[in-house]
């Protein structure tokens, strides 16, 4: 594997964990604010912002990785792609679920900013970010996924 793809894979993997961490933080802050009827604070807004921004970076890295590794040819031959689960996962399911998850995260951020009360802001953030996060978790190629699982951590080919 060339150094460019090695760096991209590492960055894509490390960014995944940042997205997961900020997703959990945004969801926890949303639910605790909603259920605890807490005021909407600057940190609540910033946590959702970081979740969205890191998810954006993750998607951008994924798109560059997708095209740098030659996956675009799979888009022209859906029949062959659909017949092989590991190819179908990366050529279709992974990026599509991630894109939908990213859209839900952005909708959640916008909806939470538009809400009129603090509790409504928290509720919208909690529910939209949770929906986004579920799709994120489903779309990650976990190591236990036979045929297309990936290591939990990649670091420039060292592990």
The residue among 159 and 90 whose pLDDT is bigger is: 90
pTM of the model: 0.87
**How far apart are the C-alpha atoms of 3 and 9, rounded to whole Å?**
10
pLDDT above 70: percentage of residues in the chain: 89
**How far apart are the C-alpha atoms of 143 and 95, rounded to whole Å?**
18
Contact 20, 138 (CB under 8 A): no
**How far apart are the C-alpha atoms of 64 and 73, rounded to whole Å?**
14
**pLDDT score at 76:** 64
**pLDDT score at 73:** 65
What is the average pLDDT value for the chain, to the nearest integer? 89
**How far apart are the C-alpha atoms of 93 and 59, rounded to whole Å?**
14
**How far apart are the C-alpha atoms of 34 and 39, rounded to whole Å?**
9
Burial class (CB in 10 A: 0-12, 13-18, 19+), 14: middle
Tokens at 48, concatenated? 């959702």
Q: Which positions ≥6 away from 55 have C-beta within 8 Å?
A: 19, 23, 101, 102, 105, 132, 136
Specify the DSSP class assigned to residue 84.
Answer: S
Give the domain ranges of the chain.
Answer: 3-139
> pLDDT by residue (tens digit) across 12-26?
999 999 999 999 999
**pLDDT score at 138:** 94
């Amino acid at each position: 594997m060339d150094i460019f793809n090695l760096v991209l894979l590492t960055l894509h993997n490390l960014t995944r964990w940042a997205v997961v961490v900020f997703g959990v933080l945004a969801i926890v802050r949303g639910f605790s604010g909603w259920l605890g009827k807490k005021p909407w604070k600057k940190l609540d807004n910033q946590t959702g912002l970081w979740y969205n921004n890191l998810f954006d970076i993750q998607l951008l890295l994924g798109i560059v990785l997708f095209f740098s590794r030659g996956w675009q040819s799979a888009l022209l031959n859906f029949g062959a792609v659909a017949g092989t689960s590991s190819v179908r996962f990366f050529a279709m399911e992974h990026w599509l679920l991630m894109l939908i998850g990213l859209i839900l995260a952005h909708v959640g951020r916008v909806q939470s900013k538009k809400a009129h009360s603090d509790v409504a802001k928290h509720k919208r953030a909690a529910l939209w970010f949770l929906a986004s996060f579920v799709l994120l978790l489903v779309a990650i190629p976990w190591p236990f996924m036979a045929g297309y699982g990936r290591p939990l951590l990649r670091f420039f080919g060292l592990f």
